[in-house]
Amino acid sequence: MVDLWFVLVCAMFAAYVVLDGYDLGAGVVSPFVARSDAERRAVLHTILPYWDGNEVYLVAGGATLYLAFPRLFPAFVSGFYLPVMIVLWLLIGRGLGIEMRHKLDQPLWNQLWDGVFFVSSALLVLFFGAALGNVVRGVSVDERGDFFAPLWTTFRAGDDVGILDWYTLLVGATAVVLLARHGALRLRARADDADDAARRVGARAARLAGLLVAPSVALAVVATLATFAVQPNIARSLRERPYEGVFALVAAGGLASSALAARRGRFGRAFHGSSAALVGLFGCACVAIHPYGLVARDPGRSVLLADAAASPYALGVGLAWWLPGMAAVVGYSVYAHRRLLDRGTAPRAPRSSRG
């Protein structure tokens, strides 16, 4: 039951990475693919019907973590208090950048919120990647089992670590590049039956996605090798459970199939390949920490998932409620995406206050 809940928590966050990842990626690439006001609107209109629904998976992931592993949730929130606050402000900024832009039809107003949208999206991806790097690398846990991570210490992945060091910044940079390409593929895949502005955005997004293939592969490989260097638990886990290596194969196959499909002009398939690559890489991160819930730089202070889990009765009752609730969420998400895709056109732009 503990392992099942660990898989469910990882699945929720993996869904968030894929779904809200293309929203965030669209924000990261927006200054590079949109040059006019109409084109910037086209970028936003591609994600407007989905972005707030996609964020449900972040909330669901946090709630699932709290339900199944009540000891871990407060430890993470208190230990990572500063980055949690930064992420909350960036989430607010990203939401405001999307929703406030069309409230007034004024150039300066639009430029302000375009900038907020881009900066918030890019920094969110960077901090989410750094957060994942912290979870995999491990944190400095004291004798009482508590930790508080400062923003940085020496930028070395040693015993006394902060949120930012060379490894977590590497993981953050990898996330930025991978999700930028993911968002670019989404923009291109949605541009075929849209208006002229969206098609121009799609053409530039396709070129940018092609340019990002080599950096994506290079950073993914370097980050993987660095993870083996800073977290020896991975090699031990793979020796004991070699079948977990399937996630690496999924990631490699996803990147390869995505690049090949994009070269052939099949951008829908390229986006799906990118989604598989993200799931595979996130799965590798989950394998890296299992069977621990909280990885410490001092291995003796790490917290096992079994020790952090709720009682078997609570896990069983929670599962009975979790399954129908998440089935409804997933069903609505599939319906919303298919309904708009089946229309054959991009969503209509909201009218400005001038009509």
Kindly report, residue by residue over 87-133, the tens digit of the pLDDT: 999 999 999 988 888 888 788 888 999 999 999 999 999 999 999 99
Closest CA to 299 of 67, 138, 106, 73: 138
Query: Can you give the pTM of this predicted structure?
Result: 0.88
| Residue 152: strand pairing partners | 164
Encode pLDDT of 275-289 as tens digits: 999 999 999 888 888
pLDDT at residue 319 in the model: 92
Q: Return the structure tokens found at 289.
A: 């920490």
**Residues near 353 by beta carbon (within 8 Å), at least 6 away in sequence:** 102, 103, 104, 105
| Residue tagged 């955005």 (tokens) | 201
The runs of H, that is alpha helices, within the chain are 2-33, 37-47, 51-54, 56-68, 72-79, 81-99, 107-137, 166-189, 196-211, 213-230, 233-240, 246-263, 267-289, 305-308, 312-342
Q: Is the pLDDT of residue 162 over 50?
A: yes
In sequence order, the β-bridge partners of residue 303 are 294
pLDDT per residue over 63-80, tens digit each?
A: 999 999 988 888 888 888
State the amino acid at position 223 in one-letter form.
Answer: A
| pLDDT confidence band for 16 (50 / 70 / 90) | very high
Amino acid at 4: L
> Going by C-beta distance under 8 Å and a sequence separation of 6 or more, which residues neighbour residue 245?
238
Higher pLDDT, 149 or 307: 307
**Residue 184 and residue 332 in contact, taking contact as beta carbons nearer than 8 Å:** no
Rounded average pLDDT over 193-209: 87
What is the domain partition of the chain in residue ranges? 2-342
Neighbour count for residue 196 (Cβ, 10 Å): 10
pLDDT digits (tens, 9 = 90+) for 48-64: 888 888 888 999 998 99
Confidence of residue 341 (pLDDT cuts 50, 70, 90): low
Q: How far apart are the first and last CA of the chain?
A: 55
Split at pLDDT 50, 70, 90, the class of 335 is confident
pLDDT of residue 15: 93
212 within 8 A of 184, measured Cβ to Cβ:
yes
Averaged pLDDT of the chain = 86
Structure tokens given for 13: 């966050």
On the question of pLDDT at 147 being above 80, the answer is no
pLDDT tens track for 342-351: 443 444 444 4
